[in-house]
A = this chain, B = another copy of it.
Amino acid sequence: MYDTHELTRRLQKNNGSKIVMVVSDGLGGLPQEPGGKTELETAKTPNLDALVPRGNLGLSVPVLPGIAPGSGPGHLGLFGYDPLKYQIGRGVLEALGIDFELGPNDVAIRGNFCTLDAAGNISDRRAGRIASDIGAKLCEKLDKITIPGVEVFVRPVKEYRLVIVFRGAGLSGDIDDTDPQATGVPPLQAVARSAGSAKTAEICNAFLAKAREILKDDAPANFLTMRGIDTLPQIPTFEEVYGLRAGAIAVYPMYRGLARLVSMKVLDAGQTLDDQMARLEADWNNYDFFFIHWKYTDSTGEDGNFAAKVQRTEELDAAIPSIMALKPDVLIVTGDHSTPSKLMSHSWHPVPTLLSADTCRFDPPAKFGEASCRAGGLGQFEAKYLMLMALAHAGRLEKYGA
């Protein structure tokens, strides 16, 4: 695992050029039967197709062949951070997903409300999947817990899921889960895996003791377990490693959070693709790199709705002229992973990718799709190298060695 940032730190130069990376979440798909077309191949994408002979197609392997990534590693790869080197814990991802602004002194924990029986054993690990409003009210109560030496934040996620954050000096995430992953047994104590996390484990246990008291008369959610106890990974900033001022235009909190992880500036994206395009235009002169996130090619794939994924792809295509009107030096359209509606889940299939720039060895005209990408000039590449190509085509890298 060579750290490409050792190169980009040395070779970066600023020539004022602009790069736009459009991430259509879960873009890659599958045909429903042999001889069939994928969602992207079915979609009418005249604007993207028009860019093919002005650029290159290729297939991005998010992590390694066969590995289906979550949103975290999927995006880190596209941002040029090796997703096998930088691992994001579940607690951190859950906090990012509700737009909680994590800092370097925070420990983030994914909590699950659960049901304890009279003997103190877990009878339901998800507390009957309580409604979100009930979970939110319980979180309000827990948010009032005070523990000497740290700030405590408790925030609802959805249904039985919550986030707990402890903020203070010298905290560590090196602590086992308290969820025993079984019923009929008591929840576990928080146990430090190393000497440096003993203090944080004590804080977890103090919190759990107070929570047990507060929740004892509630039903079915009369306790909670902790999972994925984590601190923010040490991630160098996008500006430091690439020399790019980066702005993120994402509607969903998770993707704003992932952009914040690499210290992109999170811009007000509004609610619609039109809002996102308006933001891009308004902030065009303020940044060198724009990350634009489009969620719905993933969510429709997860729903198993082939036709809806086709339609959402066509909506994205319709926004391309607004981007091209700004004359970016490099436009990339890709995905963080595939989400074939046939599988109703993230998958490992390489992701169709288009890179358009004047310095391409241009591809012949083609419909933008999985099959044409397989034959494209970018070849099949690991996602973590995409930023190197973006920088090269933007004229932002010096020669390596003499």
Contacts and interface: CB of A to CB of B under 8 A. Distances in A.
Given A53-B35, A83-B401, A374 B377 contact: yes
A64 B402 contact: no
A359 B66 CA distance: 11
A350 B379 CA distance: 10
A349 interface: yes
Nearest to A365: B35
Given A34-B362, A359-B343, A400 B65 contact: no
A38 interface: yes
Contacts of A379: 59, 350, 374, 379-380
Given A361-B31, A402-B90, A65 B388 contact: yes
Given A2-B84, A361-B349, A374-B377, A66 B388 contact: yes
A31 B7 CA distance: 28
Q: How large is the interface on A (under 10, 10 to 19, 20 to 34, 35 or more residues)?
A: 35 or more
Contacts of A375: 374-375
Contact of A402 (B4, B66, B72, B381): B72
A11 B401 CA distance: 31
B68 A399 contact: yes
Given A35-B53, A349-B361, A71 B391 contact: no
A53 B65 contact: no
Interface string A364-402: 100000110011010111000101111111000101111
B67 A7 contact: yes
Interface in A46-93: 53-54, 59, 63-73, 83-84, 87-88, 90, 93
A4 B34 contact: no
B66 A391 contact: yes
B345 A399 contact: yes
Contacts of A238: none
Which one of A83, A374, A385, A401 has the highest number of Cβ atoms from chain B below 10 Å of its Cβ? A401
Work out how many copies of this chain go into the complex: 2
Chain A facing B: main interface SS: loop
Contacts of A72: 401-402
A30 B358 CA distance: 10
A296 interface: no
A335 B392 CA distance: 19
A291 interface: no
A54 to B, nearest CB: 5
Nearest to A41: B361
Nearest to A80: B66
Interface in A308-351: 342-343, 345-350
Given A2-B1, A30-B359, A65 B401 contact: no
A356 to B, nearest CB: 10
Interface of A: 1-2, 4, 7, 11, 30-31, 34-36, 38, 53-54, 59, 63-73, 83-84, 87-88, 90, 93-94, 342-343, 345-350, 359-362, 364, 370-371, 374-375, 377, 379-381, 385, 387-393, 397, 399-402
Given A348-B389, A379-B380, 6 more contacts: A59-B379, A68-B397, A70-B402, A72-B402, A94-B402, A380-B380
